[in-house]
Amino acid sequence: MGNWQGGPTQTSEAARAWTRVRTNLRESAGARLFDQWLKPIELIEEETGGADADSIRLALPSAFMTNWVRNHYADRLNLEFRSLLPQVRSVTIETRTPGQVPVMTAPVADAVPAAAATRSASEQPILDPRFTFDRFVVDASNRVAYNAARALAEPGVPRFSPLFLHSGTGQGKTHLMHGIAHAFLATHPDATVLCMSAERFMYDFVAAMRGRDTFAFKQRLRSADLLLIDDLQFIAGKDATQEEFFHTVNEIIGGGRRLVISADRCPQALDGVESRIVGRLSMGLVADIKAPDLSLRRAILDRKLADMPEASVPAPVLELLAARIHANIRELEGALNRVVAYAQLTGETIDLDFAVATLGDVLRGAQRRVTIDEIQKLVSSHFDLKPLDLVSARRARAVARPRQIAMYLAKRLTTRSLPEIGRKFGGRDHSTVIHAVRRIEELRDTDGDIDTAVRSLMRELEA
Q: Which residues lie closer than 8 Å to 226 by C-beta, 6 or more apart? A: 180, 181, 184, 191, 192, 193, 194, 257, 258, 259, 260
State residue 79's pLDDT score. Answer: 77
When computed from its CA atoms, the radius of gyration of the chain, rounded to whole angstroms, is 26
Distance of CA 319 to the CA centre of its chain: 19
Domains of the chain plus CATH, in order, are 9-95 (3.30.300.180), 114-288 (3.40.50.300), 294-366 (1.10.8.60), 372-462 (1.10.1750.10)
Q: What is the pLDDT of residue 136?
A: 93
Helix 143-153 crosses helix 173-187 at what angle (to 10 degrees)? Answer: 20
**216 touches 55 (CB < 8 A):** no
Say what the pLDDT of residue 125 is: 62
Please give the Cα distance from 101 to 370 (Å, whole number).
Answer: 57
* Alpha-carbon gap, residue 154 to 314, rounded angstroms: 39
**What is the distance between the alpha carbons of residues 383 and 453, in angstroms, rounded to a whole number?**
9
CA distances in angstroms from 245 to 122, 194, 424, listed in the order given: 20, 14, 59
Do 174 and 35 form a contact (C-beta atoms < 8 A)? no
Contact 235, 273 (CB under 8 A): yes
CA distance 315 to 443: 13
pLDDT in tens, the chain (463 residues): 333 333 333 446 888 889 888 888 887 777 777 887 888 899 987 543 444 457 888 998 877 678 778 877 887 888 788 778 878 877 888 887 554 443 333 333 333 333 333 333 434 566 777 889 999 999 888 999 999 999 999 998 888 999 999 988 888 898 999 999 999 999 998 898 998 888 888 888 888 888 887 888 888 888 889 999 998 988 888 888 899 999 999 999 988 999 999 998 889 888 889 999 999 998 899 999 988 888 889 999 998 888 787 788 999 999 889 888 876 788 888 888 888 888 888 888 999 889 888 887 777 665 557 889 999 999 999 999 998 999 998 889 899 999 999 999 998 888 788 899 999 999 999 999 999 999 998 898 788 888 888 888 887 886 6
Alpha helices in 238-306 (DSSP H): 239-254, 275-281, 294-306
Res 64: pLDDT: 66
pTM value?
Answer: 0.56
| pLDDT score, position 366 | 57
Q: What separation, in Å, do the N-terminal and C-terminal C-alpha atoms of the chain show?
A: 61
- Spatial neighbors of 212 by CB under 8 A, at least 6 apart, are none
As a whole number of angstroms, the distance between CA 201 and CA 256 comes to 21
DSSP 149: H
Q: What per-residue confidence (pLDDT) applies to 409? A: 92
Helix boundaries (H) for 291-369:
294-306, 315-324, 329-346, 352-358, 360-366
One-letter-per-residue 3-state SS of the chain: CCCCCCCCHHHHHHHHHHHHHHHHHHHHHCHHHHHHHHCCCEEECCCCCCCCCCEEEEEECCHHHHHHHHHHHHHHHHHHHHHHCCCCCEEEEEECCCCCCCCECCCCCCCCCHHHCCCCHHHCCCCCCCCCHHHCCCCCCCHHHHHHHHHHHCCCCCCCCCEEEECCCCCCHHHHHHHHHHHHHHHCCCCCEEEEEHHHHHHHHHHHHHCCCHHHHHHHHHCCCEEEEECHHHHCCCHHHHHHHHHHHHHHHHCCCEEEEEECCCHHHCCCCCHHHHHHHCCCEEEECCCCCHHHHHHHHHHHHHCCCCCCCCHHHHHHHHHHCCCCHHHHHHHHHHHHHHHHHHCCCCCHHHHHHHCHHHHHHHCCCCCHHHHHHHHHHHCCCCHHHHHCCCCCHHHHHHHHHHHHHHHHHCCCCHHHHHHHCCCCCHHHHHHHHHHHHHHHHHCHHHHHHHHHHHHHHHC
pLDDT, residue 380, reads 93
